[in-house]
């Protein structure tokens, strides 16, 4: 029997989910083409600042892809957390079966491990 108010966490998870979905949409609209498209445009432009533009384009691309990847990973975690609320296993550490703790869930509502196990797997 869980003492956690899942309705509250569900609301936060759904809000965060909506926010990340918008962010991913935005990143995909901002960069509809591939890297080679961008490089092609730059090559045709033939500006003096060619190498600088190239580096900037590559850097922007990596940054956006990193953000998008991170957002999609978090979206998967949020979906899994919402599923755990449905299953009644929300707030329980997947490794040791102990409660994750309200403090940790407030900070990261999609946390699947208690702080001790999280430290263990990431160290
Ligand atoms: Zn644990």
Say which residue, 80 or 1, is predicted with more confidence: 80
Residue 98 Cα to ligand 1 midpoint, Å, equals 6
Say which residue, 12 or 33, is predicted with more confidence: 12
Alpha carbons 83 and 1: distance in angstroms, whole number: 17
Residue 11 Cα to ligand 1 midpoint, Å, equals 24
Residue 122 Cα to ligand 1 midpoint, Å, equals 13
Say which residue, 57 or 10, is predicted with more confidence: 10
Give whole-number Cα distances, 41 to 31, 36, 50, 72, 92, in Å.
Answer: 14, 9, 11, 29, 51
User: Is pTM, for the whole model, over 0.75?
Assistant: no
pLDDT at residue number 61: 77
Say which residue, 3 or 106, is predicted with more confidence: 106
Over residues 15-28, the mean pLDDT reads 92
Residue 101 Cα to ligand 1 midpoint, Å, equals 10
Residue 118 Cα to ligand 1 midpoint, Å, equals 7
Residue 93 Cα to ligand 1 midpoint, Å, equals 5
pLDDT at residue number 1: 44
Q: What is the share, in percent, of the chain residues with pLDDT greater than 90?
A: 55
Alpha carbons 58 and 36: distance in angstroms, whole number: 10
């Amino acid at each position: 029997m869980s003492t956690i108010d899942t309705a509250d966490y569900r609301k936060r998870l759904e809000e965060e989910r909506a926010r990340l979905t918008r962010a991913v949409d935005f990143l995909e609209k901002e960069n509809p083409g591939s890297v080679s498209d961008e490089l092609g445009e730059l090559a045709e432009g033939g500006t003096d600042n060619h190498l600088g533009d190239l580096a900037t384009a590559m850097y922007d691309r990596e940054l956006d892809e990193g953000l998008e990847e991170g957002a999609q990973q978090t979206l998967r975690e949020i979906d899994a957390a919402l599923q755990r609320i449905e299953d009644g296993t929300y707030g329980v550490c997947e490794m040791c079966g102990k409660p994750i703790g309200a403090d940790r869930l407030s900070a990261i509502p999609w946390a699947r491990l208690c702080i001790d196990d999280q430290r263990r797997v990431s160290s």
